[in-house]
């Protein structure tokens, strides 16, 4: 089975904080760390500022594309805003923030919707409380910091998680259930965030950096699939990436489990056009979900929030038996860890 889509895949690290807000790193150093981590695009999202546009400035640094969004941060209801937008005060209501970002031509995502906070690490919860809103492009379905907070229930568990920061992670089942439910009404794009701060705690010689940038960049990534290679002009490249994201052409990948490119997902029917990952189509009998993986994996096929099938190997081929929200989860390795969450294909 061949990849029938012919899309270009980009490794994007999303949701990163620098010295311009509460991250510990100079933006220029963060860029170098991203280059060393082998990612294609670094999207800085400092709290309520896009100062990184001035220094070091958006654009290409070797093969790495640096883009500058922001995380709009009231006490709860954090919102990741991408694109060439003017920022809005975090004191506005979430719906006002969402509408503003959309009106400016930006793309917005509800950050860490079920962030639990953590008593051991004394982190408050920054969860999404204002759930009556609409008009956002999607949800951050997997956030490394929230996921870590959820699993760390004691100091030894926290230290263990710091030593092996990307092992045995998985997105919050509550967030995934919410995502599947919201997808019933419209496309809701799922992205993954590093939420990298490289926070430094303690004092020398007992100083500890919680997830240095390069460590974070080897974790939760957002792979974006575009129809063309990234243009040399960074503004055009940003537009191409944002268009693809708005269409749900996104997979959320834990690079700590595997860094390979090559995962693809689409739906196929003998008499209908192909439906790419994130796409919507009018359901009829005969559609099949098709998937490709670069290494053998265990596939889970999810329909409307229910696990409905399993396959093994590099190929997935499953009948779309009914309308609804169809997505796959890829697991691999002896521990059967989650490697990839696909965005859904919507059969209406």
Q: Which is nearer to Zn ion, 56 or 74 (CB)?
A: 74
Alpha-carbon gap, residue 324 to 318, rounded angstroms: 14
The gap between the terminal CA atoms of the chain, to the nearest Å, is 26
Q: Which is nearer to Zn ion, 78 or 144 (CB)?
A: 78
Residue 148 tokens read as 């870590």
Region from 66-74, 165-173, 295-303, 336-344 binding Zn ion, contact rule CB under 5 A: 66-74
195 binds Zn ion (CB under 5 A): yes
Contacts of 135 (CB under 8 A, 6+ apart): 95, 98, 99, 102
16 binds Zn ion (CB under 5 A): no
**Contact pick of 30, 52, 111, 267 for Zn ion (by CB under 5 A):** 111
Contacts (CB under 5 A) with Zn ion, residues 133-162: none
Q: Which is nearer to Zn ion, 126 or 217 (CB)?
A: 126
Q: What is the dihedral of CA 166, 138, 11, 76, to 10 degrees?
A: -50
Alpha-carbon gap, residue 278 to 137, rounded angstroms: 12
Q: How far is the CB of 115 from Zn ion (least distance, A)?
A: 7
97 binds Zn ion (CB under 5 A): no
Alpha-carbon gap, residue 163 to 36, rounded angstroms: 20
Closest to 102 in 3D by CA, of 79, 123, 118, 78? 79
Closest to 73 in 3D by CA, of 33, 149, 157, 17? 17
Closest to 298 in 3D by CA, of 315, 316, 311? 311
Q: Which is nearer to Zn ion, 47 or 298 (CB)?
A: 47
Q: Which is nearer to Zn ion, 190 or 291 (CB)?
A: 190
Count of residues interacting with Zn ion (CB under 5 A): 5
Q: Classify 211 in phi/psi space as left (phi over 0), alpha (psi -120 to 50) or beta.
A: left
Backbone phi and psi for residue 89, each to the nearest 5 degrees, phi listed first:
-65, 140
Region from 75-83, 242-250, 308-316, 321-329 binding Zn ion, contact rule CB under 5 A: 75-83
Backbone phi and psi for residue 240, each to the nearest 5 degrees, phi listed first:
-60, -45
10 binds Zn ion (CB under 5 A): no
For Zn ion, the nearest residue by Cβ is 78
Region from 67-75, 222-230, 250-258, 329-337 binding Zn ion, contact rule CB under 5 A: 67-75
Q: How far is the CB of 31 from Zn ion (least distance, A)?
A: 18
**Binding-site string for Zn ion from residue 20 to residue 59, where x marks contact by CB under 5 A and - marks none:** ----------------------------------------
Alpha-carbon gap, residue 320 to 94, rounded angstroms: 36
Q: How far is the CB of 47 from Zn ion (least distance, A)?
A: 7
Backbone phi and psi for residue 263, each to the nearest 5 degrees, phi listed first:
-70, 135
78 binds Zn ion (CB under 5 A): yes
127 binds Zn ion (CB under 5 A): no
Q: Which is nearer to Zn ion, 71 or 114 (CB)?
A: 71
CA 71, chain centre distance (Å): 14
Site residues (vs Zn ion, CB under 5 A): 71, 78, 111, 126, 195
């Amino acid at each position: 089975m061949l990849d029938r889509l012919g899309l270009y895949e980009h490794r994007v690290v999303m949701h990163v904080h620098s010295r311009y807000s509460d991250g510990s790193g100079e933006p220029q150093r963060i860029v170098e760390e991203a280059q060393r981590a082998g990612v294609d695009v670094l999207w800085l999202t400092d709290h309520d500022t896009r100062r990184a546009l001035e220094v070091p400035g958006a654009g290409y640094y070797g093969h790495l594309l640096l883009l500058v969004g922001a995380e709009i941060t009231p006490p709860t209801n954090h919102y990741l805003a991408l694109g060439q937008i003017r920022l809005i005060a975090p004191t506005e209501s979430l719906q006002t923030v969402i509408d503003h970002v959309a009106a400016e031509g930006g793309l917005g995502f509800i950050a860490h919707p079920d962030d639990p906070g953590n008593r051991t690490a004394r982190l408050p919860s920054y969860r999404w409380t204002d759930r009556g809103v609409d008009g956002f492009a999607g949800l951050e379905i997997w956030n490394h910091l929230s996921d870590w907070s959820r699993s760390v229930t004691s100091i030894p568990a926290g230290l263990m998680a710091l030593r092996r920061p990307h092992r045995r992670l998985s997105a919050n089942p509550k967030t995934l259930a919410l995502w599947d439910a919201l997808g019933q009404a419209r496309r809701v794009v799922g992205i993954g965030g590093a939420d990298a701060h490289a926070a430094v705690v303690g004092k020398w010689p007992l100083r500890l950096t919680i997830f240095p940038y390069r460590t974070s960049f080897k974790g939760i990534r957002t792979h974006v699939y575009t129809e063309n290679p990234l243009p040399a002009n960074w503004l055009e490249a940003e537009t191409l990436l944002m268009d693809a994201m708005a269409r749900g052409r996104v997979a959320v990948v834990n690079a700590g489990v595997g860094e390979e490119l090559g995962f693809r997902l689409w739906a196929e029917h003998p008499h209908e056009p192909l439906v790419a990952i994130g796409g919507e189509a009018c359901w009829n009998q005969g559609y099949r979900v098709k998937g490709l993986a670069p290494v053998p994996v265990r596939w889970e096929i999810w329909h409307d929030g229910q696990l409905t099938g399993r396959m093994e190997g590099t190929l997935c081929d499953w009948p779309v038996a009914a309308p609804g929200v169809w997505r796959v989860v890829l697991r691999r390795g002896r521990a059967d860890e989650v490697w990839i969450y696909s965005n859904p294909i919507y059969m209406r």
